[in-house]
A and B are shown apart, each in its own frame.
Chain A
């Protein structure tokens, strides 16, 4: 028994060491990519790009299922975007709340008998609406088929060569699409780009734009501010730099439409369609032998409402874990496959080992702690010090990301906010992290049983300034 516990401890140590070093290296890559990016796309370059009107036109696709709490504000925000030519395609995916009615009322929609070319399969379209006030707004009303199905329907209706998929509760910075679309013009091999997602909770939104940032009130939201910074400024930035980006968040992604059509659109049998589509794009272009790039750029920034209650958050993380496992399993042949270069030899194995299996390893670690304590083989002093070390590492990575965030002009402005986020990066380790690890652990065994289930989500809506 003792031998088993010691072996497991050594495994944990090795696992921890590799993970810690990888993330520390990613932190460095993240900072490097932000430094270069901030120079490459200076205010001057962006202004030139906007004034020359050379950006490729973009269709913005917004699947909406029961989004009555935020859909009007989101659409309003998108309509106020700085971009020369774009259209919004909102898909009401069989909502049971008044999403469609709100859209009709606020944007003066009328039903139109538009021609509809079904290049990608999707559930039946019940009607197409256009706004009398905004010629670039189209709403598709269709039977419920899930996010991927709604996106496929939207791609069918999209007119422009670039399609930008966002969540219905996402707000984009005014020049977010401009920044992303510029990369497509600069480099013809780019087929997809993801931007940074930041929690909008606690922020003040005026006319669809985030005008003032405040750290949210609830700790559960504060922890997510740290998590998002870590995931985007450190994780995605590094994978992109290594040419092995495996996830472009569904909350804000831009693709060449022809690329999505070539791979038959989004796969509707998964709850992780955003990750799956990136894997399939990699496969498609690798099999054709064509040069291609899937990139993360730290700025464009999209703002999203993160769950503010534990139930919604657990449902979200459960879904993310299942989506990741579905994708990894579907594309398991890429693992350690040299045909896929760094992606196959480094990226996919990393995801299996340090993302998909992480909750299992962590839960087993907690179990081993209890078992060794119960059997008397636990060296308490060592265990406490090791846990403390893990905590410090976790805080250090969070601070790497928080440091990158402080270079943004749109950062949390008050020093008090910064102190709260520092405290949050300590406190998330106590309770919050374990709850989510157990949820992800549970999700590992629910992939089949909960197939295609999204889970409940309570939306609060965003904060308008007082007096509005």
Chain B
């Protein structure tokens, strides 16, 4: 982690040091060129060297002075700033819970304190803080730096906006996602997602979700970044994810939306996700199955389809189907799980063993039976390994069974 003050000034000092060095070295090199020394007879190498020494000493003194000053003043300033922000955060918390609101205008630390609390509260508390912000400041305080030509200012502004999570700043943030700089784009998307997560309910939400889904559909965004952004939407994920499940959405984004819905356990999307298990793309089928497993629910209408996918031609789909099938009655999948213990893919065999092993005493008995009698050698091996890993058999028993296998 880094201190985020004084660094721009330091960059100027270093740039100054660079310029002074360039001047010093140019002077020195010049003095060695015979023609040049004829032009300026006073610029002898010794004098040039003396000049270079003076310039370098100046640069060094500047840098050392900055560093020591940063140490001595910075530490004190940091402590004072932290104490002030903490005090304001406590004061705002008090205001949310009924204490008297302060008289304006307020110092900048008050805004920092408010942002600290705003990020931690949810529900009515967060709303109250949003209203307090509107009362004392204009949204322009947060948005104006977004228009700065300096990248660092834009990134700082987005960090504050991400903490503020104010609906009124949502669209300017989304606008920032159209820029050319990848860092600004990524941060703007995340800040917008955090804001959309706390968006007040109403018709404006639909418009915001539409706009957000459209902003995500940008090939410059990586799948990982899209997934993280969608997960930042929290409860607001469902509305956006639904918009991305449809066919015109690029495959990578659909995958991210399904994955996010599963990880956020969006039960309300169960039916929509279940509809995707028949997709032509195996990656989408696998993601949909994984999501169903994530939300711990397979709609009745999809049960047969999940069972059918246990026979899918693609091994990673079979893996995910086996995981999802864990949610179905064991009796309806037991015989297929027995077969899958001998699947050509190690991953499918392992998953089948995990699913069977997850069914308590019945599963353990089935694995024990498989370890001794399964017609497939690899199935027997997997059953032994799984029982050993789960410490259900000791090393000696495992070795003995293996020698029989």
Residues of A within 8 A of B (CB): 10, 13-14, 17, 20-21, 24-25, 27-28, 31-32, 34-40, 42-45, 48-49, 52-54, 56, 110, 112-113, 115, 184-188, 299, 381-382, 385-386, 388-389, 392-393, 395-396, 399-400, 402-404, 406-410, 415, 418, 422
Q: How far is the CA of A304 from the CA of B388 in the complex (A)?
A: 37
Per the 8 Å Cβ criterion, residues 222-254 of B in contact with A are 222-225, 227-228, 231-232
| Residue from A392, A395, A409 within 8 A of B1 (CB atoms) | A409
| Chain A contact surface mostly | helix
Residues of B within 8 A of A (CB): 1-4, 6-8, 10-11, 13-15, 17-18, 21-22, 24-25, 28-29, 32, 45-46, 49-50, 52-53, 56-57, 59-60, 63-64, 66-68, 70-72, 119, 151-152, 155-156, 159, 162-163, 182-183, 186-187, 190, 194, 222-225, 227-228, 231-232, 263, 346, 388, 395, 398-399, 402
Distance to closest chain A CB from B16 (angstroms): 10
Say yes or no: A39-B155 contact (C-beta < 8 A), given A385-B50, A400-B14, A406-B70.
yes
For this complex, 15 residue pairs linking A to B, each with C-beta atoms less than 8 Å apart, are A14-B29, A17-B28, A21-B18, A28-B15, A36-B152, A39-B152, A40-B187, A42-B4, A45-B190, A382-B46, A385-B46, A389-B24, A395-B60, A400-B14, A407-B2
Looking across the interface, which residue of chain B has its beta carbon closest to that of A392? Answer: B56
In contact, A56 and B224 (Cβ under 8 angstroms): yes
| Residue from B7, B57, B59 within 8 A of A34 (CB atoms) | B7
| Residue from B63, B151, B155, B162 within 8 A of A399 (CB atoms) | B63
With a cutoff of 8 Å between Cβ atoms, the chain B residues found around residue A415 in the complex are: 68, 71-72
In contact, B7 and A418 (Cβ under 8 angstroms): no
| Interchain pairs with CB closer than 8 A, number | 172
With a cutoff of 8 Å between Cβ atoms, the chain B residues found around residue A32 in the complex are: 11
In contact, A392 and B225 (Cβ under 8 angstroms): no
With a cutoff of 8 Å between Cβ atoms, the chain B residues found around residue A381 in the complex are: 46
Among A43, A393, A395, A396, the most chain B Cβ lie within 10 Å of the Cβ of A396
Q: How far is the CA of A418 from the CA of B74 in the complex (A)?
A: 14
Distance to closest chain A CB from B229 (angstroms): 9
Looking across the interface, which residue of chain A has its beta carbon closest to that of B256? Answer: A54
In contact, A382 and B49 (Cβ under 8 angstroms): yes
Distance to closest chain A CB from B86 (angstroms): 16
In contact, A24 and B225 (Cβ under 8 angstroms): no
With a cutoff of 8 Å between Cβ atoms, the chain B residues found around residue A40 in the complex are: 155, 183, 187
With a cutoff of 8 Å between Cβ atoms, the chain A residues found around residue B4 in the complex are: 38-39, 42
With a cutoff of 8 Å between Cβ atoms, the chain B residues found around residue A113 in the complex are: 398-399, 402
In contact, B227 and A24 (Cβ under 8 angstroms): no
In contact, A406 and B71 (Cβ under 8 angstroms): yes
In contact, A388 and B53 (Cβ under 8 angstroms): yes
Looking across the interface, which residue of chain B has its beta carbon closest to that of A402? Answer: B67
In contact, B32 and A13 (Cβ under 8 angstroms): yes
Q: How far is the CA of A97 from the CA of B18 in the complex (A)?
A: 50
Looking across the interface, which residue of chain A has its beta carbon closest to that of B5? Answer: A407
Q: How far is the CA of A37 from the CA of B190 in the complex (A)?
A: 16
Say yes or no: A24-B17 contact (C-beta < 8 A), given A53-B263, A188-B222.
yes
